[in-house]
Structure 1
Amino acid sequence: MITIPGQLAIRTIHGRNGPFNVGRLATSIGEFVIKNAELDQYDEGKYDGEFIITEIRPSTYNTSGRMVIEIRAHLGGMTLSSTEQLSENEASQFSPQEVDPLDEEPSAPATPSQPADLPVVSPDPLVDTTPFGVPDASPGGEVDETLFGALWPLTAVVKLDTTVDRRCLRAQGQRLRALGYTFDEIAQEWRLAVTV
């Protein structure tokens, strides 16, 4: 395990499982592909800071009739100091055919820590789009309690457990956005937007 300064560029790719994020970490010892689950909380951009690398290994995957070999690093944590937008040139360095990390993991049945698909919640509270027989998905509903587990009930500031299943972490981030939370990249926590 090493701690090293660097810059993490994150790009959002739209795949068959929905949007997901991949990263490229540039450091003094080399450039590495990052596919940690917690990246799905971040907006596309560049992040400067200190990165804890716990593992560096080669990885391969097949896409569009070709085999891709890349050097991946697994992050054990990071302390970010600044953020900026990703330029079009930097964004184009990412392959649009990146394989979703969910597709690389062995599939498993849904468990309480890995919820099934959540019902769509309409942004208009006067329109109920919840199918009959589906648990209440409004704030405080059974679906949220199952989704967030030990974090339930939610407070104004939420720090997600990034050790949970990737599918669960994505669902938690999507649900927090729907509930009016925004992600603070520097603090690495979700904050409820204050409305006046």
Structure 2
Amino acid sequence: MQPFTANTATSTVIVTGTLMIRDIPKRAGGSFKVGKLSTHIGQFEVKNPELDQYEAGTYSGNFCIDKIYPSHYVAGGKIVIEMRAVLSCFVLAGFDEDTGEVENSIEVDPIDEETSTVTVTPVTTVVEAAEDVAPASGDAAPVADDDASASDNDAADTDDTKAVMSVEEERVFREQQMDKDTFGEFYPLGAEVKLDVTVGRTKLRAQCDRLKSLGYKFVAARQVWVKAD
């Protein structure tokens, strides 16, 4: 059984325990996954991006804790303080669909936590930069050659005529382009796909959703997506 591995840890504690993964629905649609790790050294919240690949339930095994730190967020008019653990690897030994008794807590999507700290560059900065490189008033704008333009238009019309596709062909083409953008180096997809969990939560979720729609199923013991027969 191969372990999941993420960033290399400088100081790692390996413990035996259980990781309870819950599926949290969002008001705007969709859902996200969070985990609670129970070990002999304590209980910790887990917000690793790769949890979005897993089905909700309780997983037992050995877990590599890379970092433990206090964290907090505001939700529903309350400040929630929790101890979080970052897992750098884990080897799963068992799975139970039952998540047991779950306290009624308020969870915030980790993506929302990450985006709330992003600094946006003002648009005015970009506009000013564009004005700085504007041509002087004395410079004449290039004049398009009528014959060249007509020739280009004729060629474009010819290409468009050759490129006419049926509705079904256009749908397939658009899906292929979307999959290329979504999966990058993993496209075209094989019978098994092992995702790079460091690409970011948003892209990883998009990849997971697309794989599910294509009939793939995540095999937790091997951390790979397998195409259903």
Judge same fold: TM > 0.5, yes or no. Answer: yes
- In structure 1, which of residues 82, 89, 93 is the aligned counterpart of residue 103 of structure 2? 93
Q: Which amino acid aligns with 1:58?
A: P
Q: Provide the C-alpha distance between the structure 2 equivalents of 1:5 and 1:72, rounded to a whole number of angstroms.
A: 17
1:58 equivalent in structure 2: 70
* Structure 2: tracts of 5 or more residues without a match: 1-11, 119-166
- In structure 2, which of residues 24, 27, 31 is the aligned counterpart of residue 13 of structure 1? 24
1:136 equivalent in structure 2: 174
Structure with higher RCO (Cα < 8 A, 6+ apart): 2
2:39 equivalent in structure 1: 27
CA contact (8 A) 1:49 1:82 kept: yes
CA contact (8 A) 1:11 1:94 kept: no
After TM superposition, give the deviation of residue 106 of structure 1 in Å. Answer: 2.4
Q: Which amino acid aligns with 1:12?
A: D
- In structure 2, which of residues 207, 216, 222 is the aligned counterpart of residue 172 of structure 1? 207
Q: Which amino acid aligns with 2:103?
A: Q
Asked whether 1:3 is paired with 2:3, we answer no
Q: How does 1:29-48 map to 2 (within 5 A)?
A: 29-48=41-60
Asked whether 1:183 is paired with 2:218, we answer yes
After TM superposition, give the deviation of residue 152 of structure 1 in Å. Answer: 1.2
After TM superposition, give the deviation of residue 86 of structure 1 in Å. Answer: 2.0
Alpha-carbon RMSD across the aligned residues, in angstroms, is 2.1
* Structure 1: tracts of 5 or more residues without a match: 109-126
Q: Provide the C-alpha distance between the structure 1 equivalents of 2:41 and 2:182, rounded to a whole number of angstroms.
A: 39
1:160 equivalent in structure 2: 195
After TM superposition, give the deviation of residue 93 of structure 1 in Å. Answer: 2.4
Q: Provide the C-alpha distance between the structure 2 equivalents of 1:157 and 1:73, rounded to a whole number of angstroms.
A: 29
Q: Provide the C-alpha distance between the structure 1 equivalents of 2:42 and 2:85, rounded to a whole number of angstroms.
A: 10
After TM superposition, give the deviation of residue 3 of structure 1 in Å. Answer: 1.1
Runs of 4+ in 1 over 2 A off after TM superposition: none
**Aligned-partner SS, 1:164:** coil
1:193 equivalent in structure 2: 228
Larger Rg: 2
The alignment's TM-score, normalised by the length of structure 2, stands at 0.69
**Aligned-partner SS, 2:115:** coil
1:74 equivalent in structure 2: 86
Q: Provide the C-alpha distance between the structure 1 equivalents of 2:219 and 2:197, rounded to a whole number of angstroms.
A: 15
After TM superposition, give the deviation of residue 94 of structure 1 in Å. Answer: 5.4
- Change in 2 beyond 3 A, CA 1:94/1:28: farther
Q: Provide the C-alpha distance between the structure 2 equivalents of 1:38 and 1:101, rounded to a whole number of angstroms.
A: 12
Q: Which has the higher strand share?
A: 1
Q: Which has the higher helix share?
A: 2
